Amino acid sequence: AQSVAQPEDQVNVAEGNPLTVKCTYSVSGNPYLFWYVQYPNRGLQFLLKYITGDNLVKGSYGFEAEFNKSQTSFHLKKPSALVSDSALYFCAVRDSSSASKIIFGSGTRLSIRP
């Protein structure tokens, strides 16, 4: 069975500093990995995904994520945080052999202070 873990409930970063939101996963086959963002009282919005190819994936709003197969990780990063990045971030995984069954992590609340 596939699973995903986000070990930090909250991450606090000063504006302008780099940020990292951690995610680790477990699947039996090849992983398809995703990051979504949720703003207050809204649905989830897609940020980026890793299917195959380059381990560094670039997505929306200046975010990027690095796929590390040996560490089974897919951490979300941004070189310079903005206050507007404050939101709830979800990592998700799908086993390549399991169509449509995408499993989400518990979420990490990112807070950027001015």
Partner 1 sequence: NAGVTQTPKFQVLKTGQSMTLQCAQDMNHEYMSWYRQDPGMGLRLIHYSVGAGITDQGEVPNGYNVSRSTTEDFPLRLLSAAPSQTSVYFCASSYGGGRQETQYFGPGTRLLVL
- Residues near partner 1, by CB under 8 A: 6, 9, 32, 34, 36, 42-46, 49, 51, 90, 94, 99-107
CA distances from 94 to 18, 39, 86, 100, 113 (A): 28, 23, 26, 7, 33
Pick between residue 10 and residue 17 the one whose CB is nearest to partner 1: 10
- Min. distance of Cβ 13 from partner 1 in angstroms? 21
Minimum distance of partner 1 from residue 50's CB (angstroms): 9
DSSP-derived secondary structure letter, 83: G
